Amino acid sequence: MDEFAATYTYLWFSLLLLVICLALLSFNRKGRNEVLISAALSGPLGFLSIFFVPDYWDPVRLVEFGTGLEDLIFSFAGGGIVWASVRICCGLASHRKIDRQRLLLTYLTTIALGLMLAKVLHHIGLPPMTITYLGFLVTLSVFLSLRPDLSRLSMVGAACYGSIYTFFCILCFRISPDFLNQWTLDSLSGYLVSGVPVEEIAWSFGFGAVWPLIIGYGLNVRTCRRPDESGRAASSSLADRIATKQFSFFSRAIGEEGTAGRKLGTSGKG
């Protein structure tokens, strides 16, 4: 059993991410469809792993068919984790009706343009991970120019997914130190964080920053405050609600102090 776990580290790491995705899904009951759509759209990106083998790494897979089952599970879980985290942390409202045509068009256009850019950069001779980073940067720039208000989703996605991925990746390397041998060491910078190649950590933060922009733009998410049933602006996140309560408290305190001052002034005149 230990030998199996050591050999197929990529498999159980992908399954671990899937468990985390399903756990976060349970906290997103109202937005469950959105999280599942995000995961489903991210899943096919696992086929892009063929462009990283063997120049960047060559993982041991349970079943080989150009790509592997692990790649699909890994990508599916990643898309689910990112959007579930963003929904929870940003308090996004659920969409009663999803514009599937807009979402699919955004997704396919982004993937198509990304592949075209990757082909050009590969022709120049850039390594796979450098191409990926540049792709993240271009995608980030384009979507933020179209929807600057989605920057908050991007930052939250990067922080959440980057942290989750890095933590469990470090755990994975602690349990199976030989996992590093599945990377093409000559393609790495040589910098490690608790045994994990810094390239992997950078990738996780990059993916976490970009994916919410694609999904958020496709779903036409609005990050501004929405009116509640009483007609007042409803806070969009837990942080906003706390800030609103604090503001109300200090406003009342200032008002009471002002009232007391006026009463004192009135009594002094008399």
pLDDT digits (tens, 9 = 90+) for 37-90: 999 999 999 999 999 999 999 999 988 787 899 999 999 999 999 999 999 999
- Supply the pLDDT for residue 269: 41
Q: Cβ neighbours of residue 44 under 8 Å, at least 6 residues apart? A: 72, 75
Pick from 155, 132, 157, 153: nearest CA to 217: 153
pLDDT at 95: 65
Cα 164 to chain centroid distance, Å, stands at 10
- What mean pLDDT, rounded, does the chain reach? 85
User: Which of the pair, 218 or 264, is modelled with greater confidence?
Assistant: 218
Which tokens sit at 42?
Answer: 């991210």
Residue 222 has a pLDDT of 85
Query: Angle of helix 69-90 relative to helix 198-218, nearest 10 degrees?
Result: 60
- Kindly report which listed range (83-87, 113-117, 135-139, 256-260) carries the lowest average pLDDT score: 256-260
Cα separation, 180 vs 10, whole angstroms: 11
Q: Residues with Cβ < 8 Å from 54, sequence gap 6 or more?
A: 184
C-alpha 66/C-alpha 100 separation (Å) is 30
Indicate the pTM of the whole model. 0.82
